[in-house]
Structure 1
């Protein structure tokens, strides 16, 4: 993706946070943040930026002398004035500058995952994130995320498919638990708990739409899977 196109996407983000969208898209935003943290760990390890992880401008480590063309640099500076948090500004700069560096020197980004794409998708699906008062947790709006340590992400299986169809399938009202056959075969199920008494059981169809289903009491014969494994399974069906 070109630096100009990346700049356009970031300019279109509602940085004031659409609380309705953020809550509605809590499931996908949680997965997108995790996948960004994983990719950021891979890049940090590859270019000696471990101390800057997780939110950083990687181009400073790849090519310290790199500069955007004047028009793009001015556009990025204007964008950064509209963004409140320093970590957001760093990642916006990183996304635009890495796109520009990749245009000029494609071999620099070869062999590594698209670093900022999950985070840009996160921004597009509900705006920014913030830190809690302790600075330890990331507030994604609707869910808190503790990044943990960089080493914990290295070697983790990626969530490769991040198109809108897959991300939309991760959304739903209520507290969601995903389930599959104990042996990992068969379809993917989920239960959505709304309020104290209402539980809605669903199965994911081949068109990646959730359909009502009657699960046995206690979901006998099914094992719970986390949201990351659910995202991987949905991606394989896409």
Structure 2
């Protein structure tokens, strides 16, 4: 059930050490790869959802929404996170999240986990877009955007339009061993 997934996500976010600066350096490479994977997955969702809307997904009035937007709202405009889970998340983020952007991303991920299986079944071939971001946070907290790049202290990822990320190389394994190996390269 979606409430179970939503509560599990809140627990994961609460367990993150948002002030672990040493992890930002130690896991900089894997965090950059995880961001690229998020961008690729989000771009796949934009590409698919745009087919249904029959108009540009991000027009001039909505240009600020890429790449961190509430994908769940596009899948099902009626989706709402469990009130208790949302309150717990908001309370935690108000004290611990490193930026408003990180808070917005976490709330969008919570809405994603609140989608019904029926809503997700309409898109069986598309991956969970937010898992790479949650793993990124777990490996060293937040990030910021500056001068067209997503910055992680030790690494940066170029921020481009969604269609530039659709064909990016996928990060197919998101396990700790694979991510640690990326950091050792």
TM range (shorter): 0.7 to 0.9
Range with bigger deviation, 4-13 or 143-152:
143-152
Could you list the runs of 4 or more consecutive aligned residues of structure 1 that deviate by over 4 angstroms after TM superposition?
A: none
SS at match of 1:81: helix
- Name whichever structure is richer in helix by fraction: 2
Tell me, yes or no, if structure 1 residue 161 matches structure 2 residue 163: no
SS at match of 1:71: helix
Cα distance, 1:103 vs structure 2? 4.8
Q: Which runs of 5+ in 2 are unaligned?
A: 51-56
Structure whose CA Rg is larger: 1
Q: Which residue of 2 aligns with 1:58?
A: 71
Q: Which residue of 1 aligns with 2:132?
A: 118
TM-score (norm 1): 0.65
Bigger relative contact order, structure 1 or 2 (CA pairs below 8 A, ≥6 apart): 2
Cα distance, 1:84 vs structure 2? 4.0
- Name whichever structure is richer in strand by fraction: 1
Q: Calculate the aligned-residue CA RMSD, in Å.
A: 2.0
Q: Which runs of 5+ in 1 are unaligned?
A: 177-238
How do residues 36-185 of structure 1 correspond to structure 2 at under 5 angstroms?
A: 36-48=38-50, 49-50=57-58, 51=63, 52-82=65-95, 83-103=97-117, 105-132=119-146, 134=147, 136-172=148-184
Q: Write the distance in 2 (CA, Å) between the matches of 1:61 and 1:10.
A: 23
SS at match of 1:101: coil
Q: Which residue of 1 aligns with 2:5?
A: 2
Tell me, yes or no, if structure 1 residue 28 matches structure 2 residue 30: yes
Cα distance, 1:76 vs structure 2? 2.6
SS at match of 1:2: helix
